[in-house]
Amino acid sequence: MSSSVPSPLKATDTGATTSEQAASAPDPYMPGHGTNAYRVSRYELDLDYKLSSNRLSGRAVLHALTMYPTAALVLDLTGLRATKIQLNGRRVRKFSQRAEQLVIVPEAALPAGEEFTLDIRYEGNPVPRRGLWGEVGWEELTDGVLVAGQPNGAASWFPCNDHPRDKASYRISVTTDANYRAVCNGTLIAHTSRASRETWVYEQAEP
Question: Is there a contact between 155 and 161 (Cβ–Cβ < 8 Å)?
Answer: no
Lowest mean pLDDT among 9-18, 28-37, 111-120: 9-18
149-194 pLDDT per residue, tens = 777 789 999 999 988 788 999 999 999 999 999 999 999 999 999 9
Query: What is the chain's mean pLDDT, rounded?
Result: 85
CA distance linking residue 120 with residue 87, whole number of Å: 9
Summarize pLDDT for 52-62 with one digit per residue, the tens: 999 999 999 99
**Contact criterion met (CB below 8 Å) for 48 and 42:** no
Give the CA angle between residues 198, 153, 161 to the nearest 5°. Answer: 95
The values of phi and psi at residue 198, to 5°, are -130, 145
In order of 35, 38, 39, 43, 102, the CA distances from 113 in angstroms are: 15, 9, 10, 19, 22
- Written as one letter, the residue type at 56 is L
- Please give the pLDDT value at position 188: 98
Q: With 60 as the cut, is the pLDDT of residue 100 above it?
A: yes
* pLDDT tens-place string over residues 6-31: 333 333 333 444 444 444 445 555 66
State the Cα angle at 73 between 63 and 135, rounded to 5°.
85
* Model pLDDT, residue 18: 42
pTM here?
A: 0.84
pLDDT score at 2: 38
Domains and CATH numbers, the chain: 11-204 (2.60.40.1730)
Query: What residues have CB less than 8 Å from 97, skipping those under 6 apart?
Result: 77, 81, 82, 103
More confident residue, 138 or 135: 138
**pLDDT, tens digit, for every residue of 46-84?**
999 999 999 999 999 999 999 999 999 999 999 999 999
85 vs 12 pLDDT, higher one = 85
DSSP class of residue 156 equals: G
Phi, psi of 154 (to 5 degrees): -65, -35
First to last CA, the chain: 9
Q: Is the pLDDT of residue 89 over 70?
A: yes
